[in-house]
Structure 1
């Protein structure tokens, strides 16, 4: 029989492989570890650890930012942003691919969720790109890759969770640190997308829509463009905390939808709240039951043992870091960002401390690597969403996705080699990194 510290990982991996919900897999892994390795009275800690995992005030920001993204999605913001981006980019080979990336970057500054970003933009962009001559598989891949930047662009739900799980991390610094790498990741999608569009002659047919007027489209998109400014500006000025920023973002989204655009009805608002509640409940349930896994793993010494295995591979930081990034990439291909953070942060933090890596910088590396995994077949969260919208099989996107993966990996390597690409902005703003 394997030792308890190994059994918690075997049970977790086995349940995930057979399709068990991640929350149940985390809880059962922890329970098995407690039963096998600790005295029977320790089972009484299950309720306490479940409660303590979510009894954290900053977690209030997660359901609120989820609601913000849902409200903006239901108001038709994506269509207005697409119109404005098309006015800026104009009609040229690869133009609509660039538009999709720009819109995903802006939407990421509202929703903080890659799948939500991908769904909203795909619904608007895939029909337009198809009429312009883009293959549906190509369109789905570009949008999925662009939407993956939502995990980096503030307000990212994953970065909020990272700041809660890692002591001493300033969420404002983390948001600022993710901004420039997020833009780099977006650029890493645009460059191969435009090159492929020119090479294959996309967007040259008679069905390409005309260029909208810049002034008119800017006015239409202005309420949406102001949302990231409101959130980040309020945080920078100290006017409100990240949790309060989430409340302001929700109120602003409802105002834009019901008063400015007038596309959000009371019934639509109710549905947005209900859908956001369901998604938030799933996220918080995972976090709650992960408390059992985290407590069992730390008490049994399982996390220290795995960290020790990483450190035993090499005493060279770059070698270990590349192994960690490979692990995160594989995890990003099969799991969502929240689950990855909950499972791997307790394991990876001892490694980070052993090599004295900057925790803010490492948090951005985690997010960027997971972002790549979110559109890397065969199991990619964002790509599953856009492929479904585009009505294409996942395997049809593999050839296109390879180019985006290579380009974003190059951007990741730049952030690894030059940590200042992530840390310079929070340092300039005076945040503790």
Structure 2
């Protein structure tokens, strides 16, 4: 028998603000359940400003990284509502849940890496834009990846790529799967001869800085829509058309055109005043330079205060649950909303000769996903691709920028040295990161 989507006792409790009953029901009901609008009980608690319900749901492990039918998470709704304490609680919980998920996946990941042969691989990144002149200034990079046992080393000169800003450097990223989680990720700055352990836990100050950024900027949701994607064989030749086949490095490859790829991005800014929007540029610039937006007389950072709450919702549970899926009455602030959608034509070259499988590549990409452009590559590779291995890919990274990624070299090797995965003895710990 199908479950009745209207039967959502946790959601109903949150609506009426009955904290005592909610506490009792949480022992019996699934805190991850969504209603017909895709909202969890946590979504509703945040939208309606029911703080006690929020804390109770978080204490029972309500997921923070979950989207409703409109594509928004509880954190997005909390930013819209504007209660600083709630936003902080959700950010902390989100990080804790991400750590726990990584820990759960880790044993399988380590054993998958151990079972795979050791190898050396080169990936070339070329960033391109259809905007005149921008292509000239975009970076390119060759990433070198060594894998030995359950350890991976990535060498790159492109540290980060975000909103048309990128950082150059000479960076090595080390993952040692046989070490404790808090010692397994290290970043080496080879120019400055410094190393930095990647911490799983942020300091209080870092969390509060992040809350300031969230409260000061647009609520963003961007996703690659893969629903309507189809692959067709790329053609070559003017008169006699035939399927395009080429060598990519040493690999025989067949080229496909990817049709129907959409980059959908959505912005909300109902929580920002006109003054905010003007101040934002200055604040964001100061954050990217590593300082917060100002300090008081005691040297403490000045934090963004909570917004005045939106008017109390007059919507009843019956009106809410009786409305069309994804189209319920407004529960918090009226949305200030902008949606853009851009279609991309992309190509991918698939090779049957490549010695690594797509599943193996996904395990490697999971380790290096902290680099944002690699997480995009991972999203892409998760798509239902034609047979073979994607040795050359065009993927949109930003609405105006496409990355061309080429797997130009790959070899299984049994001579990869253990010292590659060690911190050189003369490197010192980055003093700015010791806190």
Q: Which structure would you say has the larger RCO, counting Cα contacts within 8 Å and 6 or more residues apart?
A: 1
More strand by share: 2
TM-score (structure 1 length as normaliser): 0.21
Structure with greater proportional helix content: 1
Based on CA coordinates, which of the two structures has the bigger radius of gyration? 2
